[in-house]
């Protein structure tokens, strides 16, 4: 065909003089199928002229240009091809799947594989997606984009972390967090890794993918690969953003008049108040005066202000054929919405790869991060509880510590000069060096030595008149310093061999990880000068206490893997790994974790050769065993703990048994996962999808089993019990519109997981004390079922339950005419796990503009947010929320019981039932608009994009009760969640 093509070019040259307003006809053929390709964009380079091919792949295009013209053919996934045409002859062009998605290399455990050859369930996220949402933590940027990964921000404080679980919770006692691997080095989190320096993040979900990590594979693996340098000209990128954040949604509390009304009602209930004339019986003199002046404080408003975020990042990539390097310098700063809540993070990344000769290569990757953090002791809990009547300053302009003459210190007390400081400094180094040898053809030996070294300290000072200390005596200063060192040494040998249609890759590896950590903690009370903060503990006269500790654990592992492919169509992966963990009991330290996976590339079969619909189709099946040893180090040993004790004023040493007893038989927790997956691409991969169905059965749970207290001890880690997680995941990507100037792409993810306890200590028996129920998820709400409030008309019925109208009415489950904790509580319908969650991301780009809208949905989880129970029935110590629609004889509410000056919330029967609510929500997680400057003439600036980005701007909740609450929190209220608008610039030099 090439010859024909050359010939036609020659012929065309001969005729080119004849061409005036000429028409060029031709056809585009897809290389693998030999069929015509539809919708290929054809244009004449340097002009606006363009067309698309028809269903048989044919096109025609007209031009007035004489002489040779350059035709440009482009199609998504096939790249661009330019063909020079001299005459009017028919052009035949063959397009080949460019280094298409399928040939993309995906990082898997201890190696890489082409996406087409994957047998496991792996999701790969590239840098562009991570950078699309500006965030401190890279995982926050990809929330909802990975099917099966449930990512939630823990709270809105500047230093807050994220929680992530992959495919639900399997373990009750041994932890459910995934393992992170950064450039081959294990780490416990990736907060410190600056998002700009990440090349890709891979999520390994099924056993075929994770079994190679054996002992830590059960909860999924997240592999982060940082950027490498590239040969050629030096590339410099600069990116920067700055943004303003605000509280996204926050529940309000009663204002002054609202509080006065509820307190009057509470006293009316007990006959102490009938009219305003009785106010003096229930309010103190100061309060009466404040009521008269309508003087009250909105503490939320006084405490919360706008937050600021900014990030600056410079990346330099350079190199020659043999030496490649990447440097990145990053600064992230955030000032939270509360005073004293802020963070500054500086990080420096250096990655160097050096090729010495044809068989030796070495390099290192490193990142140093240093953080300055300040943590605010949450004042909002107090701000929401304190009686709102009061003033900030007295007549002399002095700050009033106890507003309204009340008993509670002002929520603003910590903000007064020299009262409060809680600051952390930490530095961490994550670095690894590797040496790669290729002594024989097909054989690679790589040794990778990594370390994660950290030191951190937190110093805290709280004066007497602060929120934490006002119920104690004197100031408290403390200093907590810790050192940690984690090393990870992997040796991996890989051997590739192709024999005709058979292709093998054999991997053998050994791995050793070791963690040591120690810390020292000191505190003292009552220091003379508050200005010394936590830098003069020696000057604290009272209650001095010191402690230090040490922890070490290690794991030794050996593993092997065979990847076999027959004709590129039939794929097999066999893995086995043996791990020995120090923290498990002697004799149970070792376990082996085998897995097997097969995949069939159906689209490569002959019977799918002559069609245009299915461009990719692969079926994957896997089964494997992974482990979890996540009990604390020394968890198998019985230990003693110190009991502080004095006779008279003299300190005496006391040592008693710890409540957790050692178990010399504790062994591995095992998860067996089956996974069926189907990957397909339609219409030349304009639509690609992956569907996975899985079933994980976890046995030998390392359960913190409760022992009868009569033994004098309380818990023991024992291998008992089983859980099951099964579900399905779908991710879909499509290119909805693709023209020369307009592109619209969508990505949809959907995950459903059912989590349940299969058995506990005794088959079929629930553990009510711990709240564990067979057939239910690990964490459920077990309580009475609230029906409403006893109404006036039901007074006679209420009496039978020793209740009166205005009290909480719960269901008498066993119908015996009395309510008791054993027979009338049950696992409430909703569970606090979502029925499903997912995301829909739409990106539209038109010329230089790009618009991204990302919607995230989490549906079906029940939550118990504390503000729904913020109700002081007595209203004498605390304020209540505005949501509290309390019952009165005139207001037949079914939401909240009647205020009552004689009964506190904690002595109200069934008070715990008030807060349960459906926490389902949908939110526009991200909305961004950007503009990329086209055809930059400057030699200096290669590309330039500016954008504005909004996160969490719009949220809908299913329950109207949550209209003032950010449901992502799932219950808490300290450090409210934020909505943020940022402006950013990305510059390439």
Partner 1 sequence: MKNIFIIILSAFSLFFISCEKQLDEYNPSGLTAEAVYTTPSGFDALVNAAYGYQRWWYGKEEGYNISETGTDIWTSAAGDVWPDLSKYANLQSTNTALRDEWNALYAGINLCNAGINRIQDAGYTVGLRKQREAELKFLRAFYYWHIVETWGGVHFTTEETKGIISTANKTPVETFYNLIFEDLQFASTNLANTTTDYGRVTRPAAMAFLARMYLTRGKNAEANSMANAVINGGFGYVLQPKYGDLFLMANNKSKEVLYAVNYANNLTLNDIRSSTFPQGHSRGSNNGHLHFTMKYDDRPRMFRITEYGRPFNRYMPTRALLDLYGPADARYEGSFQEIYFSCTATGGVSRPGDTAVIATRTNYAGTPGGNPGGTYVVYNRNNIYDAASGKVKNTLNYPTLTKHLDPTRLTFNEAQSEKDVLLSD
Pick out residues in 260-299 that bind partner 1 (CB under 8 A).
280-281, 283-285
Taken as a whole, the chain contains a residue count of: 989
Q: Which of 643, 742, 799, 936 binds partner 1 (CB under 8 A)?
A: 643
| φ/ψ (deg, to 5) at 186 | -70, 145
Nearer to partner 1, 222 or 555 (CB): 555
The binding track of 330-369 with respect to partner 1, each residue x by CB under 8 A or -, is: -----------------------------x----------
Does 238 bind partner 1 (CB under 8 A)? Our answer is no
Q: Does residue 312 contact residue 240 with C-beta atoms inside 8 Å?
A: yes
Q: Cα–Cα distance between 899 and 262 in angstroms, integer?
A: 7
The dihedral formed by the CA atoms of 710, 714, 719 and 723, expressed in degrees to the nearest 10: 110
CB of 181 to partner 1, least distance (A): 20
Which residue from 907, 917, 902 is spatially nearest to 867, judged by alpha carbons? 917
**Interface with partner 1: number of residues (CB under 8 A):** 97
- Stretch touching partner 1 by CB under 8 A, among 54-62, 80-88, 176-184, 897-905: 897-905
- Stretch touching partner 1 by CB under 8 A, among 94-102, 123-131, 862-870, 895-903: 895-903
Q: What angle do CA 526, 530, 534 make, to 5 degrees?
A: 80
Q: Which of 397, 708, 815, 934 binds partner 1 (CB under 8 A)?
A: 708
Footprint (CB under 8 A) of partner 1, residues 557-576: 558
Nearer to partner 1, 306 or 548 (CB): 548
Q: Which of 464, 496, 532, 882 binds partner 1 (CB under 8 A)?
A: 464
Does 539 bind partner 1 (CB under 8 A)? Our answer is no
Q: Cα–Cα distance between 833 and 861 in angstroms, integer?
A: 5
CB of 708 to partner 1, least distance (A): 5
CB of 656 to partner 1, least distance (A): 4
First-last CA distance in the chain: 42
CB of 384 to partner 1, least distance (A): 19
Q: Which of 79, 161, 405, 424 binds partner 1 (CB under 8 A)?
A: 405
Nearer to partner 1, 587 or 934 (CB): 587
Nearer to partner 1, 23 or 711 (CB): 711
Nearer to partner 1, 222 or 581 (CB): 581
- Stretch touching partner 1 by CB under 8 A, among 217-225, 289-297, 615-623, 629-637: 629-637
Does 638 bind partner 1 (CB under 8 A)? Our answer is yes
Nearer to partner 1, 18 or 821 (CB): 821
Does 902 bind partner 1 (CB under 8 A)? Our answer is yes
Q: Which of 644, 764, 817, 934 binds partner 1 (CB under 8 A)?
A: 644
Tell me the sheet residues that pair with 735: 745
CA atoms within 13 A of residue 779's CA, in its CB half-sphere = 15
CB of 462 to partner 1, least distance (A): 14
Does 712 bind partner 1 (CB under 8 A)? Our answer is yes
CB of 776 to partner 1, least distance (A): 18
Q: Which of 25, 47, 60, 543 binds partner 1 (CB under 8 A)?
A: 543
Footprint (CB under 8 A) of partner 1, residues 574-613: 580-583, 589
Q: What angle do CA 302, 921, 156 make, to 5 degrees?
A: 35
Footprint (CB under 8 A) of partner 1, residues 903-922: 903-904, 906-907, 909
Footprint (CB under 8 A) of partner 1, residues 871-890: 874, 876
Does 547 bind partner 1 (CB under 8 A)? Our answer is yes
Q: Cα–Cα distance between 32 and 684 in angstroms, integer?
A: 11
CB of 713 to partner 1, least distance (A): 6
Nearer to partner 1, 417 or 644 (CB): 644
Q: Which of 340, 470, 728, 790 binds partner 1 (CB under 8 A)?
A: 470
- Stretch touching partner 1 by CB under 8 A, among 96-104, 499-507, 687-695, 817-825: 817-825
Q: Cα–Cα distance between 367 and 365 in angstroms, integer?
A: 7
**Pairing of the two strands 476-499 and 702-706:** unpaired
Tell me the sheet residues that pair with 108: 111
Q: Which of 25, 64, 548, 943 binds partner 1 (CB under 8 A)?
A: 548
Which residue from 157, 307, 338 is spatially nearest to 245, judged by alpha carbons? 307
Residue 890 CB neighbour total at 10 angstroms: 7
Does 33 bind partner 1 (CB under 8 A)? Our answer is no
Nearer to partner 1, 79 or 633 (CB): 633
Number of H helices and number of E strands within the chain? 10, 52
Q: Cα–Cα distance between 492 and 593 in angstroms, integer?
A: 18
Footprint (CB under 8 A) of partner 1, residues 474-513: 474, 491, 493, 510, 512
CB of 404 to partner 1, least distance (A): 10
Q: Which of 23, 60, 472, 943 binds partner 1 (CB under 8 A)?
A: 472
Does 23 bind partner 1 (CB under 8 A)? Our answer is no
Which residue from 578, 520, 465 is spatially nearest to 214, judged by alpha carbons? 578
Q: Does residue 979 contact residue 246 with C-beta atoms inside 8 Å?
A: yes
Q: Does residue 572 contact residue 649 with C-beta atoms inside 8 Å?
A: no
CA atoms within 13 A of residue 182's CA, in its CB half-sphere = 29
CB of 5 to partner 1, least distance (A): 46
CB of 280 to partner 1, least distance (A): 7
Residues with Cβ within 8 Å of 441's Cβ and at least 6 positions away in sequence, in order, are none
CB of 960 to partner 1, least distance (A): 32
Does 312 bind partner 1 (CB under 8 A)? Our answer is no
Q: Cα–Cα distance between 419 and 429 in angstroms, integer?
A: 34
- Stretch touching partner 1 by CB under 8 A, among 67-75, 377-385, 494-502, 705-713: 705-713
CB of 448 to partner 1, least distance (A): 12
**How far, CA to CA in Å, does 1 sit from each of 4, 5, 29, 86, 237?**
5, 6, 12, 18, 43
Query: Per residue, what are the HEC states of 811-831?
Result: CCCCCCCCCCCCCCCEECCCE
Q: Cα–Cα distance between 609 and 34 in angstroms, integer?
A: 9
- Stretch touching partner 1 by CB under 8 A, among 342-350, 711-719, 749-757, 943-951: 711-719
Does 32 bind partner 1 (CB under 8 A)? Our answer is no
Instruction: Name the 3-class secondary structure at 500.
Output: coil
Nearer to partner 1, 33 or 464 (CB): 464
Residue 907 CB neighbour total at 10 angstroms: 11
Instruction: Name the 3-class secondary structure at 34.
Output: coil
The pair of three-digit structure tokens given for residue 736, joined into one six-digit string? 């909805």
Q: Cα–Cα distance between 212 and 595 in angstroms, integer?
A: 8
Footprint (CB under 8 A) of partner 1, residues 734-793: 761
Which residue from 917, 918, 913, 916 is spatially nearest to 824, judged by alpha carbons? 913
- Stretch touching partner 1 by CB under 8 A, among 40-48, 153-161, 536-544, 771-779: 536-544
Q: Cα–Cα distance between 363 and 360 in angstroms, integer?
A: 10
Footprint (CB under 8 A) of partner 1, residues 162-191: none
CB of 555 to partner 1, least distance (A): 8
CB of 660 to partner 1, least distance (A): 10
Does 544 bind partner 1 (CB under 8 A)? Our answer is yes
Q: Cα–Cα distance between 117 and 505 in angstroms, integer?
A: 12
Tell me the sheet residues that pair with 372: 344, 425
Tell me the sheet residues that pair with 535: none
Residues with Cβ within 8 Å of 764's Cβ and at least 6 positions away in sequence, in order, are 774
CB of 902 to partner 1, least distance (A): 5
């Amino acid at each position: 065909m090439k010859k024909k093509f050359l010939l036609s070019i020659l012929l065309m040259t001969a005729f080119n003089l004849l061409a005036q307003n000429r028409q060029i006809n031709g056809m585009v053929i897809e290389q693998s199928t030999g069929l015509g390709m539809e919708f290929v964009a054809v244009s004449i380079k340097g002009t606006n002229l363009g067309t698309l091919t028809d269903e048989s792949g044919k096109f025609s295009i007209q031009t007035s240009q004489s002489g040779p013209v350059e035709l440009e053919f482009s199609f998504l996934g096939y790249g661009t091809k330019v063909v020079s045409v001299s005459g009017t002859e028919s052009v035949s062009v063959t397009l080949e799947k460019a280094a298409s998605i399928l040939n993309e290399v995906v990082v898997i455990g201890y190696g890489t594989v082409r996406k087409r050859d994957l047998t496991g369930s792996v999701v790969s996220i590239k840098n562009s997606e991570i950078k699309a949402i500006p965030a401190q933590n890279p995982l926050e940027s990809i929330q909802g984009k990975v099917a099966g990964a449930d990512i939630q921000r823990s709270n809105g404080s500047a230093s807050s972390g994220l929680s992530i679980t992959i495919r639900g919770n399997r373990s009750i006692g041994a932890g459910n967090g995934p393992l992170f691997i950064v450039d081959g080095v294990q780490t416990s989190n990736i907060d410190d890794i600056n998002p700009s320096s990440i090349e890709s993040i891979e999520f390994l979900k099924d056993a075929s993918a994770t079994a190679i990590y054996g002992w830590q594979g059960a909860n999924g693996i997240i592999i982060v690969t940082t950027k490498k340098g590239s040969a050629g000209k030096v590339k410099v990128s600069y990116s920067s953003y700055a943004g303003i954040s605000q509280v996204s949604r926050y529940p309000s509390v009663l204002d002054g008049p609202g509080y006065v009304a509820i307190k009057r009602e509470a006293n009316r209930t007990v006959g102490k108040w009938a009219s305003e004339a009785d106010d003096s019986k229930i309010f103190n003199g100061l309060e009466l005066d404040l009521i008269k002046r309508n003087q009250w404080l909105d503490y939320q408003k006084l405490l919360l202000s706008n937050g600021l975020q900014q990030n600056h990042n410079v990346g330099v990539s350079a190199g020659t054929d043999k030496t490649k390097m990447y440097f990145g310098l990053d600064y992230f700063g955030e000032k939270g919405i509360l005073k004293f809540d802020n963070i500054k993070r500086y990080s420096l990344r250096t990655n160097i790869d050096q090729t010495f000769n044809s068989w030796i290569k070495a390099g290192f990757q490193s990142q140093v991060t240093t953080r300055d953090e300040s943590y605010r002791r949450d004042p909002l809990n107090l701000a929401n509880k304190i009686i709102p009547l009061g003033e900030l300053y007295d007549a002399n302009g002095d700050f009033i510590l106890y507003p309204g003459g009340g008993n509670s210190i002002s929520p603003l007390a910590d903000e007064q000069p020299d009262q409060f400081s809680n600051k952390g400094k930490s530095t961490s180094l994550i670095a690894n060096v590797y040496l790669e040898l290729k002594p024989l053809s097909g054989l690679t030996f790589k040794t990778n030595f990594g370390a994660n070294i950290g030191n951190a300290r937190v110093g805290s000072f709280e004066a007497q008149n602060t929120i934490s200390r006002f119920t104690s005596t004197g100031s408290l200063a403390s200093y907590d310093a810790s050192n940690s060192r984690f090393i990870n040494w992997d040796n991996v040998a890989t051997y590739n061999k192709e024999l005709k249609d058979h292709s093998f890759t054999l991997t053998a590896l050994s791995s050793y990880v070791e963690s040591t950590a120690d810390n020292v903690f000191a505190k003292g009370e009552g220091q003379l000068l508050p200005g010394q903060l936590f830098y003069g503990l020696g000057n604290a006269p009272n209650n001095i206490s010191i402690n230090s500790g040490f922890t070490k654990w290690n794991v030794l592992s050996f593993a092997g893997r065979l990847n076999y492919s027959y004709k590129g169509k039939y794929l097999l992966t066999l893995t086995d790994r043996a791990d020995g963990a120090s923290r498990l009991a002697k004799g149970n330290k070792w376990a082996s974790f085998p897995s097997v996976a097969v995949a069939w590339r159906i689209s490569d079969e002959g019977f799918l050769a002559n069609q245009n619909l299915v461009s990719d189709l692969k079926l994957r099946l896997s089964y494997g065993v992974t482990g979890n040893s996540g009990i604390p180090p020394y968890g198998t040993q019985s230990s003693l703990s110190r009991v502080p004790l004095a006779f008279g004023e003299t300190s005496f040493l006391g040592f008693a048994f710890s409540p957790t007893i050692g178990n010399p038989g504790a062994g591995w927790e095992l998860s067996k996962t089956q996974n069926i997956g189907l990957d397909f691409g339609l219409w030349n991969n304009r639509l690609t999808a992956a569907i996975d169905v899985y079933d994980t059965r976890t046995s030998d749970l390392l359960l913190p089993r409760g022992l009868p207290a009569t033994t004098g001890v309380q818990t023991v880690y024992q291998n008992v019990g089983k859980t099951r997680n099964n579900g399905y995941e779908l991710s879909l990507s499509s290119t909805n519109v693709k023209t020369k100037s307009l592109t619209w792409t969508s990505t949809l993810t959907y995950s459903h997981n059912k989590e349940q306890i299969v058995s506990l200590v005794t088959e079929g028996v629930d553990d009510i004390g711990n709240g564990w129920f067979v057939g239910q998820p690990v964490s459920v709400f077990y309580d009475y079922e609230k029906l409403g409030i006893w109404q006036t008309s039901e007074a006679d019925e209420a009496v039978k339950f020793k209740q009166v109208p205005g009290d909480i009415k719960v269901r008498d489950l066993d119908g015996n005419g009395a309510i008791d904790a054993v027979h009338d509580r049950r696992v409430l319908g909703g569970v606090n796990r979502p029925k499903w969650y997912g995301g829909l991301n739409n990106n539209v780009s038109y010329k230089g503009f790009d618009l991204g809208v990302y919607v995230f949905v989490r549906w079906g989880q029940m939550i118990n947010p504390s503000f729904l129970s913020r109700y002081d029935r007595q209203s004498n110590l605390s304020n209540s929320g505005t949501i509290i629609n309390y019952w009165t004889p005139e207001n037949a509410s079914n939401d909240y019981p009647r205020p009552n000056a004689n009964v506190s919330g904690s002595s109200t029967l069934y008070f715990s039932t008030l807060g349960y609510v459906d926490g389902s929500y949908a939110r526009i997680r991200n909305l961004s608009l950007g503009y990329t400057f086209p055809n930059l003439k400057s030699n200096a600036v290669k590309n330039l994009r500016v954008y504005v980005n909004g996160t969490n701007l719009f949220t809908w909740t299913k329950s109207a009760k949550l209209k003032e609450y950010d449901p992502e929190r799932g219950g808490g209220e300290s450090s409210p969640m934020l909505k943020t608008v940022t402006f950013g610039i990305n510059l390439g030099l």
